[in-house]
Structure 1
């Protein structure tokens, strides 16, 4: 099902939960494994981290470009898979850290906060209580 107003459309399939391949129809195939196993493959935590770090950094770059600034940025995401305190479920602690070349801590924090509000993956996260944003120095 596509929407006429979609700028991009993709369809992704997972038939094997954490023990097999997930794939983009007519595209990328990824071996999936349980994050608590030693089996080869990726897992939802890694894939989410890739999606969010890419979206955040792309949004930072778009904001910089709109200001006429051509500089590098870096985003690192940590996804910690944790057990609920009642022992009945799981949740993610999500920490994103950003650095922008030539920007001080306050400038980076302001732009990063703006990027987080605009990033489509961040919008999916919404007001989730286990999200943390940090600023880090830029290193090549």
Structure 2
């Protein structure tokens, strides 16, 4: 028996000026462009944001379901590309906002914090000083 549940092979040969794709028929293929260029396409910042918000919200929804709840939830991330103070190199500053409809803020926050500890993408970035997670009231 294999010890993983899923595996994807993803390719990028062009950096931020070309195409990146998931190996296989009818899999994702995206045009890539630099976030600082005025060209069509996506970039690492947007792709990271999509991965993080999708995984974290899926984990929140799983925890809600396990508690017999059907509340709507939403996760929004603002991903900023910033230059290091030294002027050499870059980093992502990430602000994550999570909300759950119909739950008191403290109860929603407990669930969001629990999801953050369980989400596979969030686990990759735990304790990162450039990431903040805030639970906010749900707005339609």
Task: Confirm or deny a common fold (TM above 0.5).
Answer: yes
1:103 equivalent in alignment to 2:117: no
TM-score (norm 2): 0.95
Which 4+ runs in 1 deviate beyond 6 A? none
Partner of 1:121: 121
Per-residue CA shift, 1:51-81, capped at 9, x if unaligned?
A: 0000000000011111111111000011111
| Counterpart pick for 1:8 among 6, 13, 23 | 6
1:59 equivalent in alignment to 2:59: yes
| Counterpart pick for 2:22 among 21, 24, 30 | 24
Secondary structure at 1:96 match in 2: strand
Residue 126 of structure 1: how far off its partner (Å): 2.3
**CA-atom RMSD in angstroms:** 1.1
Alignment partners' CA distance in 1, 2:54 and 2:89: 28
Alignment partners' CA distance in 1, 2:43 and 2:107: 34
Residue 139 of structure 1: how far off its partner (Å): 2.0
Per-residue CA shift, 1:31-60, capped at 9, x if unaligned?
A: 000000001000000000000000000000
Alignment partners' CA distance in 2, 1:4 and 1:32: 33
TM-score (norm 1): 0.95
Alignment partners' CA distance in 2, 1:108 and 1:37: 39
Alignment partners' CA distance in 2, 1:15 and 1:120: 26
Secondary structure at 1:121 match in 2: helix
User: Aligned residue pairs: how many?
Assistant: 138
Secondary structure at 2:139 match in 1: coil
